[in-house]
């Protein structure tokens, strides 16, 4: 028994390189299985049967369980990922506490929100006040401003990021993976950082693509390949699947992503693949 545990530990630390990395990837292999649906829970269930058209015009104090407040809140989640996200820090929408919408004749519709977001890797939560402005006609990406998200800066992932970076940088072989998560909702613990990075990169696209009529969730990393680089930025080609809950469409995007602890996450290139209506929905999309 003792020997078994020792061997297992040796394998785990061998694969991950050091114990810091072991801590960030999470010891519980089922973690992601609960995470993925969790990210969707807020946006499912309660909304079924609602008339989307009536909702779009909702103004004043909003029902926090309904689509309009949640669509706007989801945009804040994507925004936070673009600003603070990393392979070690990924935000999901936890709850909408309050929402208010108003028409502004000159610029569009403005949402004022109080929400809780969850940092899914450390399982810590932060409360945020935010404003989301959807431009008239959805011509430009929504404009997001957060006025207070104090707890977010307390989620310090510097040590984890350095450890992960060293591990990827020092490795002789380039990483690659497909189907994160797989059809059982499972992600290998040592591949989770690639899922987290893909989710953060996808938030850049989802933030830009969001309108009052969309509600995007990250569905799956179809595949990811690490590329050789000459500088200190790690570089990855991602093929991701995004799910719009409103239209029920699965969108395929190819992303060229860089990351380093100092440089953060950047999406250098993005390209939407042609929609394929015959395609199957990924297993974990609702």
Ligand X SMILES: *[C@@H]1O[C@H](CO)[C@@H](O)[C@H](O)[C@H]1NC(C)=O
Residues that bind ligand X (CB under 6 A): 123, 156, 158-159, 222-223, 239
> Given the complex with ligand X, which of 75 and 257 has the nearer CB atom?
257
String of DSSP letters for the chain: -HHHHHHHHHHHHHHHSSHHHHHHH-S-TTHHHHHHHHHHHTTSSTTTT--HHHHHT--EEPPTTSHHHHHHHHHHHHHHHHHH-BTTB-EEEEEEEEEEEEEETTTEEEEEEEEEEEETTTTEEEEEEEEEEEEGGG-SPPEEEEEE-GGGGG---HHHHHHHHHHHHH-SSPPEEEEES-TTS---GGGHHHHHHHHHHHHHHHHHH--TT--EEEEEEEEEEEE--SSSSEEEEEEEEEEETTTTEEEEEEEEEEEETTTEEEEEEEEEPPP-TTPPPPTT--
> Given the complex with ligand X, which of 31 and 112 has the nearer CB atom?
31
Q: How far is the CB of 222 from ligand X (least distance, A)?
A: 4
Q: How far is the CB of 24 from ligand X (least distance, A)?
A: 12
Q: How far is the CB of 53 from ligand X (least distance, A)?
A: 33
> Given the complex with ligand X, which of 109 and 196 has the nearer CB atom?
196
Q: How far is the CB of 230 from ligand X (least distance, A)?
A: 22
Q: How far is the CB of 60 from ligand X (least distance, A)?
A: 32
> Given the complex with ligand X, which of 18 and 123 has the nearer CB atom?
123
> Given the complex with ligand X, which of 13 and 123 has the nearer CB atom?
123
């Amino acid at each position: 028994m003792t020997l078994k545990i020792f061997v297992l530990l040796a394998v785990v630390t061998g694969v991950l390189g050091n114990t810091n990395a072991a801590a960030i990837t999470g010891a519980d292999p089922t973690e992601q299985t609960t995470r993925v649906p969790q990210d969707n829970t807020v946006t499912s269930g309660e909304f079924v049967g609602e008339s989307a058209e009536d909702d779009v015009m909702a103004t004043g104090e909003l029902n926090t369980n309904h689509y309009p407040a949640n669509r706007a809140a989801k945009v804040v989640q994507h925004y936070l990922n673009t600003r603070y996200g990393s392979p070690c820090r990924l935000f999901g929408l936890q709850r909408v506490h309050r929402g208010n919408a108003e028409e502004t004749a000159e610029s569009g519709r403005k949402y004022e929100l109080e929400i809780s977001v969850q940092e899914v890797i450390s399982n810590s939560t932060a409360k945020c006040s935010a404003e989301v402005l959807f431009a008239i006609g959805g011509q430009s990406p929504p404009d997001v401003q957060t006025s207070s998200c104090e707890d977010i800066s307390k989620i310090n992932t510097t040590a984890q990021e350095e450890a992960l970076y060293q591990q990827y940088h020092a490795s002789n072989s380039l990483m690659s993976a497909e189907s994160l998560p797989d059809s059982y909702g499972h992600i290998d613990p040592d591949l989770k950082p690639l899922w987290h990075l893909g989710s953060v990169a996808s938030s850049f696209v989802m933030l830009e693509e969001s309108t009052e009529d969309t509600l995007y969730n990250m569905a799956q990393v179809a595949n990811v390949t690490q590329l050789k680089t000459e500088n200190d930025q790690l570089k990855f080609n991602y093929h991701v699947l995004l799910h719009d809950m409103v239209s029920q469409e699965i969108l395929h995007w190819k992303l060229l992503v860089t990351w380093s602890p100092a440089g953060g996450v950047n999406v250098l290139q993005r390209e939407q693949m042609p929609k394929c209506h015959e395609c199957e929905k990924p297993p974990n999309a609702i």
